[in-house]
Amino acid sequence: DAKTTQPTSMDCAEGRAANLPCNHSTISGNEYVYWYRQIHSQGPQYIIHGLKNNETNEMASLIITEDRKSSTLILPHATLRDTAVYYCIVRLWNSGNTPLVFGKGTRLSVIA
């Protein structure tokens, strides 16, 4: 699976959009981008995933660049409860015996 690069930490004002970037320049054509978040001392929570089209659900939007070398997770109106570590993971769909690999992620602090 391709490697991802994320900033170590970011701040966002409450009520504003939080835009979390992820670089995955070695991504291959059949690798998906997954996003998870982990609130302090809890288990990670799946947020969203995509291949090449932009995706949106009740939690967030995922914007993937046309060349697929980077993506951005958008939390449209960040709240204090969105303070967490956000993980960007690239993985082959139906990759058989390869469970998800979590890096260190981006620590997002939402500030009142």
Partner 1 sequence: DGGITQSPKYLFRKEGQNVTLSCEQNLNHDAMYWYRQDPGQGLRLIYYSQIVNDFQKGDIAEGYSVSREKKESFPLTVTSAQKNPTAFYLCASSIDLSTGELFFGEGSRLTVL
Distance CA 74, CA 68 (A): 16
Name which of 103, 111, 109 is nearest 22 in CA terms.
103
Closer residue to partner 1 in complex, CB, 18/34: 34
Tokens found for residue 39: 């609130």
Considering only 19-27, 65-73, 74-82, 96-104, which stretch makes contact with partner 1 by CB under 8 A?
96-104
Name which of 31, 39, 28, 38 is nearest 89 in CA terms.
31
Query: Shortest approach of partner 1 to residue 49 CB, angstroms?
Result: 6
Q: Does 86 bind partner 1 (CB under 8 A)?
A: no
Query: Shortest approach of partner 1 to residue 16 CB, angstroms?
Result: 26
Q: Does 61 bind partner 1 (CB under 8 A)?
A: no
Q: Does 7 bind partner 1 (CB under 8 A)?
A: no
